[in-house]
Structure 1
């Protein structure tokens, strides 16, 4: 994938604030005629025409067919985000395998791939990823357009406020305090964004049409091998002073029961189940229903204060329960937390956030990693 020297690794797409505002409006509201865009954004018609023509020339927006008639003259043609405007890739490392996803500019996942991988060296990870991305580029014609960058989601918190230097889980110890953007960027030769896996999951959840179109701020919990979270505030990632906002795993020390998928696996094993990965939980939903229900009751109680704290500080429009767990388990946790919040908030007259269960499952992390370059290029900084 290498295309140039290390010093040249910058996003290829630089947008103005008016261009970003239009893209975000279209992402949130869906296809919209120029006249309505101008009204919503306080722009005059000439400015709107000029800016949308620029976006169209970049391939980032396109006109859509419209059945609406205006009575006379040309019908109002809606503009929409154009997926062909570019593509980005996301990657994450699991024990024993490497996962890759590609998304287009609209945020639509185009493919999801995985390969066996066990080497803990980040340079070897970069080389394996480079080889696999080259193979995917050769196989898929849609990837001949503008490449916007690579996002890598990692299970580790930032050190010294540097998103590119992190303390990782034990099996990724060689990644600790390494300049990951330089290491990966030097091998791959592309712009690289490093994100915590909970933050990446939050980005994926927020870009779902039913979420981005309804809310400006969202709190996301991701339950997988550990427990993490991410915050979207006013349509942008909220990193925190030290870039560790959402590091909720600290609330649940590893020496005790935790609201994580690995914790559920442990309980299932203690109940006699032969299980070696999170993906096998779905096959135990009926045979071990009582164990899973008891675990969900306990986890909802554990998460209550974390959810409540996030709600009172962030005032989000929604809370999303995401993770590498079966859909029915995520649904059950969301239902339990909603019931807890409803009971506690009885008599509270202000609006309270909706609690949603994710439908992305374990893919949320790698999809969010792939969205990181697109978000970085288009986000409106307050």
Structure 2
């Protein structure tokens, strides 16, 4: 078996703690970092100097407000010390995103891709990345790796072997990491698409700064989910945590994007893909409203169960649906859960609508190598 490749960037536990604190809490003065992390000032200074030399942290301009004595200069996450790529395949097209170490998007791209062979996918991606490196100088940064989000669950407890959807049938039950790395000659991580979306939702600053654990429902061609538990992606013993689609049999109405698409077609709408949903919202408002009412009740039952078992700080309704639909679903799920949680005196999770929508999958794929570098993933 080929040796698992790893990014060139390797951080010590102490360095990871500093980076994680800055990522969660934002720019922080060294004196406060030392106090919060229980590290003496000299050690903290040395750590930030090391991280600065790697291009991972930088000093933030001091506040114009002056105080007695030497002003403190906060340090923050820098972007130029590393970059990573995320990619995924949709029916008929390929999507990729390049992010820097801050998690900010440097480049997004999509192109037609009808070939299901994973080696062709890898060669297509390799050609595009080489062109990007020449055009934008990405190779001057520190490359962390490539995350690939796959629509399919793990087989035999191996996250690199997947039972996949029909449009990528050649990806089924093969060692995907080894196959892709043999073509790309770079570190590759394979992740379920909904789990990748959960990672992207968690890395949103307004989520990460407030919560340690979140439950994410991703609605697209199917119904998927992901759980961030204590700031890590929880995968389960067989790497299939979040396979919530099993709660909604495909031969019955379910809260998925494809189900909404079929509902609209039955109502006479001309729609060939999820991309057409946005343009139908005005002309078929009643159909959307009825579907949202039904789907939100289904999701609320799953949310109620998930909250009882997992006690997350937040629930995020995400997916490849128009943002207005996600917002309406979140609002109605929250109303349903308000009734389900009635009389329960402990804190209950806040329910968010995703602001990332379909982009969550490819962004989460790109975040996977970065998440691994920070030591948060086993």
TM-score, scaled relative to structure 2: 0.97
Q: Residues 352-371 of structure 1: matches in 2 within 5 Å?
A: 352-371=348-367
**In structure 2, the residue corresponding to 1:36 is in which secondary structure?**
helix
Alpha-carbon RMSD across the aligned residues, in angstroms, is 1.4
Among 75, 81, 105, which residue is 1:79 paired with? Answer: 75
For residues 242-288 of structure 1, give each alpha carbon's deviation from its aligned partner in whole angstroms, at most 9, with x where no partner exists: 00000011111111111111110101111111111111111111110
Partner of 1:338: 334
Query: What is the rounded CA distance, in whole Å, between the counterparts of 1:56 and 1:134 in structure 2?
Result: 28
Matched, 1:140 2:143: no
Q: Residues 57-68 of structure 1: matches in 2 within 5 Å?
A: 57-67=53-63
Partner of 1:153: 149
Check conservation: 1:32, 1:79, Cα contact below 8 A: yes
How far does residue 134 in structure 1 lie from its aligned partner after superposition?
1.2
Partner of 2:307: 311
Query: What is the rounded CA distance, in whole Å, between the counterparts of 2:18 and 2:361 in structure 1?
Result: 27
**In structure 2, the residue corresponding to 1:54 is in which secondary structure?**
helix
Partner of 1:204: 200
Partner of 1:253: 249
Query: What is the rounded CA distance, in whole Å, between the counterparts of 2:266 and 2:10 in structure 1?
Result: 54
**In structure 1, the residue corresponding to 2:277 is in which secondary structure?**
helix
Among 122, 128, 151, which residue is 1:126 paired with? Answer: 122
How far does residue 139 in structure 1 lie from its aligned partner after superposition?
1.6
Check conservation: 1:236, 1:379, Cα contact below 8 A: no
How far does residue 11 in structure 1 lie from its aligned partner after superposition?
1.5
Partner of 1:35: 31
Q: Is the alpha carbon distance of 1:119 and 1:61 closer, same or farther for their aligned partners in structure 2, counting shifts above 3 Å?
A: same
Check conservation: 1:261, 1:325, Cα contact below 8 A: yes
Q: Residues 238-249 of structure 1: matches in 2 within 5 Å?
A: 238-249=234-245
TM-score, scaled relative to structure 1: 0.96
Task: Give aligned pairs, total.
Answer: 377
Q: Residues 216-295 of structure 1: matches in 2 within 5 Å?
A: 216-295=212-291
Q: Is the alpha carbon distance of 1:87 and 1:129 closer, same or farther for their aligned partners in structure 2, counting shifts above 3 Å?
A: same
Q: Is the alpha carbon distance of 1:381 and 1:358 closer, same or farther for their aligned partners in structure 2, counting shifts above 3 Å?
A: closer
Check conservation: 1:61, 1:80, Cα contact below 8 A: yes
Check conservation: 1:120, 1:172, Cα contact below 8 A: yes
Check conservation: 1:69, 1:75, Cα contact below 8 A: no
Query: What is the rounded CA distance, in whole Å, between the counterparts of 1:7 and 1:242 in structure 2?
Result: 22
Query: What is the rounded CA distance, in whole Å, between the counterparts of 2:376 and 2:358 in structure 1?
Result: 28
For residues 147-204 of structure 1, give each alpha carbon's deviation from its aligned partner in whole angstroms, at most 9, with x where no partner exists: 1100000000001111100100122221111000000001000000000000000000
Query: What is the rounded CA distance, in whole Å, between the counterparts of 2:361 and 2:217 in structure 1?
Result: 12
